A and B are shown apart, each in its own frame.
Chain A
Amino acid sequence: MLRAPMRVAVVQFPGSNADWDALHTVRDIVGADAWYAFHKSTTLGDADAVVIPGGFSYGDYLRAGAIAGFSPIVASIREFASRGGPILGICNGFQVLTEMGLLPGALARNAHLRFECRDVHLRVENEGPFTDMGQGTVLRLPIAHADGRYHTTESGLAELEEHGQVAFRYCTQHGELPAGSDANPNGSVGDIAGVYNRDKNVLGMMPHPERASEAILGNEDGLTLFDSLRRHLGLS
């Protein structure tokens, strides 16, 4: 029997600009039912999963992702998260999730202070709804950010480790750690590129899987996250 396609809401804040990338990939490549949830709306629709895309929500004025936390849609995002619904925050979406307090830590200006757009390598550190590809799997994904330096306190870091919340670390192309200055593109503490919440239904990451899910773009590594999600949901 054919299973129903998964349903994915892509949140649109004013200034979201990778909303198309997320919608296109999830809908046209992954094959999900997908739609935009505008920030002034109070509902995400009947979604199985939510993507908070990259961009510059509210221009990233004040701090990257800070103002988005006060949008009307935010209550439904919190509610969705508390029900255990899978949420993927990519780039600015990661920043929004930390500002909302749904993910621990914060994202600061890159150590070299420049915007940086290039491919990086990531190692899967812990499994979860978006990362069932197996610990130690190395992915190549692009980054495009100015504020991607993950930061948390020493005790925060210990807690992340204790609960297996580190989803990805930057690594060399052969999966080696520590990543070193070139492989860690922004100076993130512990080479951290993505983290889960304690319940592991919310993932934030700086690299862009939705920009690396098609052969014509020269990279399909990003698809592994969406395939993982599909398996997690038990949907096609």
Chain B
Amino acid sequence: MTTPANFPGEPDSSPKIAREFGLSNEEWERVLSTLSRTPSYAELGVISVMWSEHCSYKSSRLHLGRLPTTGPQVVQGPGENAGAVDIGDGFCAVFKMESHNHPSYIEPYQGAATGVGGILRDVFTMGARPVASLNSLRFGRPDHPKTPHLLKGVVAGIGGYGNCIGVPTVGGEVQFDASYDGNILVNAFTVGIAKTDDLFFGVAEGVGNAILYVGAKTGRDGIHGATMASAEFGEETDSKLPTVQVGDPFMEKLLLEACLEIFATDCLSGVQDMGAAGLTSSSVEMADRAGNGIELDLDAIPRRTKALSPYEMLLSESQERMLMVAKEGREQEVFDICAKWDLDASIVGRVTDTGRFVCKATPEYDPFDGTGKPDPVVVVDLPVDLLTNAAPKYDRPQTPRPDRPSLVTMAGQTPEDLGAELLQLIGSPNIGSRSWIWRQYDHIVRDGTVIGPGEGDAAVVRVFCEDEDGTKEKFIAISADCNGRHVELDPFVGAAMAVAECTRNIVCVGAKPLGLTDCLNFGNPEVPEQMWRFAQAIDGLAAACTALNAPVVSGNVSLYNETDGNAILPTPTVAVVGQLEDPEHRLGLGFVREGDIIVHLGRPSRGVLGGSEWLVQQTGKVVGASVGIDLEAEAALQHAMIELAKSKLLRSAHDVSDGGLGICLAESCIALGLGAKITLPADDDAPPHALLFSEEPSRIIVSLSASHAGELGELCDRYGVPFQKIGTVTGATLDIEGVCAVPVEELAERHAKALDAIVS
């Protein structure tokens, strides 16, 4: 075997270059001993990117195994481009969430746009037509000088991509907290619909089969993006601009339509999009899943710039590109459909039985302008296994966070004017209306948005399932949630709360949760306290997913979210997909009819204010005792809620979360402009402000006709769920007995202007 050669001008690999590429000294030594030779420059690039945290999950793999991933409804669990759950009649919902944090901080528009592009590709690569997107965003404190620029850029980028490709962005969440000042989070979620029997997988099957490259040409953008995403930010961050990719949603729209048309001909044996680590990871992962090898002819790679080296082609993260493996002799069908959609397609390699990742290229030949003659030499020759299963896997040390001084009694004195407190809170950036954001997203394209942004606890989307028997309409519910403050106070509890809130949002619109995807955003795993947070959060997710029957079917880990040693709040964002049996079961969050009674479901507050938005605004810190969660009670509440929706007893449902019960009631009033007269429920003698603003989980506020009160009571008793009538829908004021009385119009006005201070 010849030793793979460097290209002209490329330096010999060295420990110094390895370090620049993000490898540790131990990892460099491991490369040398495994290969028994020094890798070529291109090989070192390939190894370093495949061994990066982003691609190898080297710090997290060990822990991810503890997540529940199975269930009768699971069609595809983790390990593919996206996960899938059964939605009946031979159809499935295909979904995933992914982070694009680091690029979005450097260049918010393109970073966020390509995050959307990437997750859309993950979904349609599986053979699913994307039907809806969500996003979960975190920015620094509202008055940080960079926040307006980052918020505007990210929102415009998400809209710019999603609006153009024509997939509705139907919901999401956003939080502002000082911990994200230097490291924002952009997590993008997409769900698509496919026939279960027609799902496609990222496998390079069939030795000798042609590998086709379809889509945009390769440039120098995004080289080493995955490595960048695996490091902390420091002072030199601004110089990382060239590692950000640039998106072209029009190209992706063509790619989407061409791919779905190609898939329908059944001429492919495998397909994978080129995401992080581009050509390298897509070909290596496909070879790995099939237990095969791949040989690439880099001279054949479509390109849009001169003098691309093998290193650059292998590591480029140019967007809107797919790798396909055609069945024997069926390449022409791919070419024909690509021609219809004006897309480039070329054969760039073959599937082999060697188990090796081999790349050839000609040093003095440039296909871009035709100079020189092709006479390829081997530039990469590595065992596939070295880049996948044999990549480093660490059990990093963990240290529990030291106990903080007791702040259990943070409740303190009750403020004099609780009405003013409520107005202040409803008009603050973390609680108020997000309409400035979602109005910039086309949330209605495809005629499926039944419950859109701001209308319910989750979005409800009608999807059209077409097969030989005609078209069936199905209704899915989606939500994305996490509150890093509660995770910070107790990572196990906070992570479980994220799952509980997300599934609770699904049941509040009348749907049953089917599966979950996660996006685990944490700090530096080499810091034992951060690693502990991660491991604890995994256990919290696992416990809640099991208790609430939401298996994890896909996900993503984003570590090193810190700048100059300051880590973000641990943020294990989750998104859940559920299904409504019947669209008539759907529920919005707003009070609908004068005279309806308002009922509190779940155990009333004990007045624990830890981690609440109100307390953060009072103290400027994330402090207090964790609110805790009882997963059995949560499960009972959710089961009861599903039954209540099915029985059509209710007219609205809204869960208590950020801002507490006071905000929950205010939002239900604001939605349709109706007031309410309320008596605060309590099972303790906590002060009224604590009862009003505590963010204890496992509570839902519903409204219904008084004539259904008896049936509701019987149903709640059957499920062992505490319930209590707390008031009536009436008038134009939110009147909480002995606490405050605020006109709904005033609440609505403050709510609507919540983001004005940042964006205008």
- Point out residues on A near B: beta carbons under 8 Å: 14-15, 17-18, 20-21, 24-25, 28, 40, 54-56, 58-61, 114-118, 142, 144, 146, 208, 210-211, 214, 216-218
Contact = CB atoms under 8 A, between A and B. Distances in A.
A18 B250 contact: no
Contacts of B251: 59
A199 B163 CA distance: 33
A59 B164 contact: yes
Contact of A59 (B248, B443, B447, B449): B248
B450 A55 contact: no
A68 to B, nearest CB: 12
Given A59-B249, A216-B462, A17 B166 contact: yes
Given A144-B445, A218-B450, 18 more contacts: A14-B253, A15-B254, A17-B445, A18-B445, A20-B447, A21-B447, A24-B447, A24-B464, A54-B445, A56-B253, A59-B249, A114-B440, A115-B163, A115-B440, A115-B441, A117-B440, A146-B163, A211-B447
17 contacts: A17-B253, A18-B166, A20-B447, A21-B447, A25-B447, A54-B445, A58-B250, A59-B164, A60-B250, A61-B250, A115-B441, A117-B441, A211-B445, A214-B447, A216-B450, A216-B462, A218-B450
Contacts of A28: 471
Contact of A14 (B248, B342, B438): B342
Contact of A117 (B250, B253, B444, B471): B444
A170 to B, nearest CB: 16
Contacts of A24: 447, 464
Contact of B445 (A21, A114, A118): A21
A56 B156 contact: no
Nearest to A214: B447
Nearest to A208: B444
The SS class assigned to the B binding surface is mixed
B340 interface: yes
Interface string B228-252: 0000000000000000000011110
Q: How large is the interface on B (under 10, 10 to 19, 20 to 34, 35 or more residues)?
A: 20 to 34
Most chain-A CB neighbours within 10 Å: which of B166, B340, B441? B166
Interface in B435-479: 435, 438-447, 449-450, 462, 464, 471
Contact of A20 (B439, B446, B462): B446
A142 B447 contact: no
B445 A56 contact: no
A118 B442 CA distance: 9
A154 B444 CA distance: 35
A80 B438 CA distance: 38
A15 B164 contact: yes
A118 B447 contact: no
B583 A114 contact: no
A150 to B, nearest CB: 20
A29 B323 CA distance: 39
A214 B341 CA distance: 32
B340 A40 contact: yes
A60 B253 CA distance: 12
Most chain-B CB neighbours within 10 Å: which of A25, A117, A146, A218? A117
B583 A216 contact: yes
Nearest to A29: B447
Contacts of B160: 115
A147 to B, nearest CB: 11
B502 interface: no
A217 B462 CA distance: 9
B464 A17 contact: no
7 shortest interchain CB distances as A-B pairs: A17-B166, A59-B250, A144-B442, A56-B164, A21-B447, A115-B440, A115-B159
